[in-house]
Chain A
Amino acid sequence: DADVTQTPRNRITKTGKRIMLECSQTKGHDRMYWYRQDPGLGLRLIYYSFDVKDINKGEISDGYSVSRQAQAKFSLSLESAIPNQTALYFCATSVLSGSSDTQYFGPGTRLTVL
């Protein structure tokens, strides 16, 4: 089984709808991240969390919110989706210990907002 899972994998929705993307991990990592990827723009950080009580805004948090329900779960919400939020969304986890600083990515959620 994959260590970092995302649901749904694909979603098509309409402008104005509320959408939730979910991420779960079995790696036991404290740190979790949400990124969006747009063609030619690389990955941009939306929100990140270093533990259950810690939530931080990234570069492009406007229009998004997150919830860290447990160490293993980090969900991303679009309260009122708009077409320019059409993108590929990735969840990632990491642990900061000693020489390790690797981010582990989920498979991605392709979101289309019509």
Chain B
Amino acid sequence: SQQGEEDPQALSIQEGENATMNCSYKTSINNLQWYRQNSGRGLVHLILIRSNEREKHSGRLRVTLDTSKKSSSLLITASRAADTASYFCASRSMNRDDKIIFGKGTRLHILP
């Protein structure tokens, strides 16, 4: 089964608002990554947070990680129409030779 599960499955917000997406995973991880996918296109890496980190920032993105709850969140501040996309979390297990497991994704729609 999928290691990562995003919540919510779909999210619509007004432009300028903040968007928060959550991800849960099942086993101990080395790192957790977030990717973005525009409709029908390949995924693009956004940010990586390691298991010993609790928060990380990149521009308008803020990622948190709570290893005790096996969960992560992605916050996009001051959303723009161009942020409309699907967002996936992907977890890398403690064994770095293991594969990355992707979640099912959150579809984010920014309303003008």
Contact = CB atoms under 8 A, between A and B. Distances in A.
A101 B31 contact: yes
Contacts of A28: none
Interface residues of B, number: 25
Given A42-B88, A43-B88, A103 B2 contact: no
Nearest to A106: B42
Interface residues of A, number: 26
Contact of B102 (A40, A42, A104, A106): A42
B96 interface: yes
SS class, residues of chain A in contact with chain B: strand
A45 B90 CA distance: 12
B52 to A, nearest CB: 12
Contact of A107 (B42, B92, B103): B42
Interface in B37-65: 40-45, 48
A110 B90 CA distance: 22
A105 B33 contact: no
Nearest to A107: B42
Given A42-B2, A48-B99, A105 B43 contact: yes
Given A42-B104, A43-B88, A50-B97, A101 B48 contact: yes
Given A42-B88, A43-B88, A105 B44 contact: yes
Contacts of A44: 2, 102
Interface of A: 4, 33, 35, 40-45, 48, 50, 56, 58, 88, 90, 92, 96, 101-108, 110
3 closest cross-chain pairs (CB), A and B: A105-B42, A42-B104, A43-B102
